[in-house]
A and B are shown apart, each in its own frame.
Chain A
Amino acid sequence: MLSKLKLSILIGSFLVLAALPFIAEAVDEPFYIDLMARVMIFSIAAMSLDFILGYGAMISFGHALYIGLGTYAVGILAFYEVTNGWLQLLVCIVGTAFISFILGLISLRTSGIYFIMITFALAQMFYFLGISLEEFGGDDGLPIDERSVFFEGLDIYDPWTMYYLILGTLTVTTFALWRIINSRFGMVVRGSHSNDDRMQAIGFPTFKYRLAAFVIAGVVCGLAGFLLGNLTEFLTPEYMHWFRSGELMIMVMVGGMGTLFGPLYGAFAYIMMEDFLSQFTEYWQFYFGPLLILLVLFAKQGLWGMLPGKEDMSDE
């Protein structure tokens, strides 16, 4: 199991998240509910990336694509006046699964630098596709008129309801990914990361497992996009731009690669920092760029990795 310290921090964090709306209300700063909702969405996305990047060594530079696809699932259907949340969710899951499957088939035959560049280029292809789709706003984007409707009584226009929906999704996906990492399937993915030749030598046809992992990551990230579309009520190809993919990678690294839980904090740290720095200067990236280089050089293990307590990949 996780060390006591890490487990307590993790549980404590979820408790804080659960209590947050009440706290925000108490200090009369409802803005934090919206902020943390956003943080949680990107936590889900970052975690899904860590699943393949940290555990599977598949350095996908196009992961933000799936956030975009998720928002498009909501937005396009809403545009055609289909606001049934279940239907949108179905389209989202099937769509992201299909696309990640195809893209995985193409990219996973390559490795190393080729893999990074192909995932990068393929994701950009969708970005340009999004820009050229004029009736969905092109590069101006499109407001989403209505949020998803799931069932009577669930009004996700209410910030609190939306918040807890996101928190619920985060909790479920965190738990699910954690179980998957430690399952037989997860062992194959992790083993392939460590030594793919050896895995094949003992009898694992690794390609299909890596592809499956790639698809799982894409679908989970698509869920994050689905939530984002509902939260921001806006659809734009900018969500898919490779800069966003870069930001996801930063969140994973800052949180701790290959730790699954680290990226939750990485997303938090990155978004808070971005929010904080941009209050001071419009040119915050000027400072962040070199900071990022320093982080890569000296703090590569990330926040979670800096915590004491035996950390081996198996979370034994």
Chain B
Amino acid sequence: MTLLLFVEQFLNGMQFGVFLFLISAGLTLVLGIMNVVNLAHGSLYMLGAYFASTFFGLTGSLIVALVLMIPVMLVVGMVIELVVLRTMYERDHMDQVLATFGLILFFNELVRLIWGVDAQPLTLPVWLSGNVEILPDAPYPVYRLVVIGVGMAVAAGLFWMITKTRMGMLIRAGASNRPMVGALGVNIRFLYTMVFGLGAVFAGLAGLMAAPLQSVESGMGEEMLIFAFVVIVIGGIGSIRGALVASIVIGIFETVGRSILPFLMLEIVDSETAQTAGPALASMLVYILMAVILFFKPQGLFPARTG
């Protein structure tokens, strides 16, 4: 296990954490403010990836694809909110789970109908596809650094919005005490639609950035969804800060853990056991972490709810 490998995995973990954050941020707000379990959030990620690959295919420019994708995701998000989610606000969680599960089924088939069954290709433009020497003799993909950078910028922007703007204040108030915000006479419906739309844009952005790195295919959203849930549960519902901390922690834990664990196990057990048990244990790491954290703090690390 060399330093180089560690640094590389660490950065990969940061990058994965960025994806997780972009997806979880919207999800935690929707959950915290609107008290709705939205399983279809992963579908938004998936749609972002599909739209990105199409727009990129049409225009040849990742930047243009990004610019086009934002309003499209905003509209998609708002439509979903208006048509389906609105009916679920007063319902209990069981109903929300089932209804949004229905949305997942719908979207997973929709993309196959529109785009076909094969995975969508998205190759990186030249200016993004090189390597950079982060340490001597240690090349690291430029693209992944860019992803980390973009993610950090979005996180910073989100923090600024949450803490410095009126909208952000409403969001924070809504996350910690939902009924109060309505009682204050704020236009709740509009707030909800905006929050959901924002979440959709972030998830779509994650999808766009993920497209060059993994296969764009039906069902890709659900794997991320699981991680997003773990992030939210650990970070605390309704907390952006919690989502950021948890995303990075989990991203690094998962990536570094997976690569370190086989080495660590070799210290303790023989090579054959490490070979078989290693991957198994690695895939369980994150969940074990979650279980441990929840055992001591059943509301997550930074729960936003006071009301």
Residue numbers of A with Cβ under 8 A of B are 53, 59, 61, 106, 109-110, 112-114, 116-118, 120-122, 124-125, 128-129, 131-135, 242, 246, 249-250, 253, 257, 283, 285-286, 288-293, 295-297, 300
Known A114-B299, A283-B112, A296-B99: A122·B287 in contact at CB below 8 Å:
yes
Contacts of A290 in B (CB 8 A): 102, 106
A-B contact pairs, 11 of them (CB 8 A): A106-B291, A110-B298, A114-B237, A128-B284, A129-B280, A133-B276, A133-B280, A283-B113, A289-B102, A292-B102, A300-B95
Residue from A113, A249, A288, A295 within 8 A of B37 (CB atoms): A113
Residue from A128, A129, A250, A283 within 8 A of B98 (CB atoms): A250
- Per the bound structure, the CA–CA distance linking A297 and B87 in Å amounts to 8
Q: Do A285 and B284 have beta carbons less than 8 Å apart?
A: no
- Per the bound structure, the CA–CA distance linking A113 and B299 in Å amounts to 10
Contacts of A113 in B (CB 8 A): 31, 35, 37, 93, 237
Contacts of B101 in A (CB 8 A): 246, 249-250, 292
Q: Do A286 and B113 have beta carbons less than 8 Å apart?
A: yes
- Per the bound structure, the CA–CA distance linking A250 and B31 in Å amounts to 22
**B interface, how many residues as a size bin?**
35 or more
B214 within 8 A of A: no
The proximity string for B residues 88-101 relative to A, scoring 1 for CB distances below 8 Å and 0 otherwise, is 00010111011101
Interface positions of B from 291 to 306, Cβ below 8 Å from A: 291, 294-295, 298-300
Contacts of A124 in B (CB 8 A): 226, 287
Interface positions of B from 1 to 42, Cβ below 8 Å from A: 31, 35, 37
Contacts of A122 in B (CB 8 A): 287, 291
Contacts of B232 in A (CB 8 A): 117
Q: Do B294 and A110 have beta carbons less than 8 Å apart?
A: yes
Q: Do B283 and A125 have beta carbons less than 8 Å apart?
A: yes
Given A110-B299, A125-B288, A289-B102, 8 other A-B contacts at CB below 8 A? A106-B291, A110-B294, A110-B298, A114-B298, A122-B287, A128-B284, A289-B109, A290-B102
Contacts of B237 in A (CB 8 A): 113-114
SS of B interface (majority): helix
- Per the bound structure, the CA–CA distance linking A121 and B293 in Å amounts to 14
Q: Do B105 and A292 have beta carbons less than 8 Å apart?
A: yes
Chain A nearest CB, measured from B225 CB (Å): 9
Q: Do B276 and A283 have beta carbons less than 8 Å apart?
A: no
Contacts of B91 in A (CB 8 A): 296
- Per the bound structure, the CA–CA distance linking A187 and B236 in Å amounts to 33
Residue from B35, B106, B290 within 8 A of A118 (CB atoms): B290
Q: Do A286 and B97 have beta carbons less than 8 Å apart?
A: no
- Per the bound structure, the CA–CA distance linking A120 and B112 in Å amounts to 26
Q: Do A285 and B105 have beta carbons less than 8 Å apart?
A: yes
Q: Do B106 and A296 have beta carbons less than 8 Å apart?
A: no
Contacts of B280 in A (CB 8 A): 129, 132-133
Q: Do A289 and B104 have beta carbons less than 8 Å apart?
A: yes
Interface positions of B from 258 to 305, Cβ below 8 Å from A: 276, 279-280, 282-284, 287-288, 290-291, 294-295, 298-300
Known A125-B283, A293-B84: A114·B233 in contact at CB below 8 Å:
yes
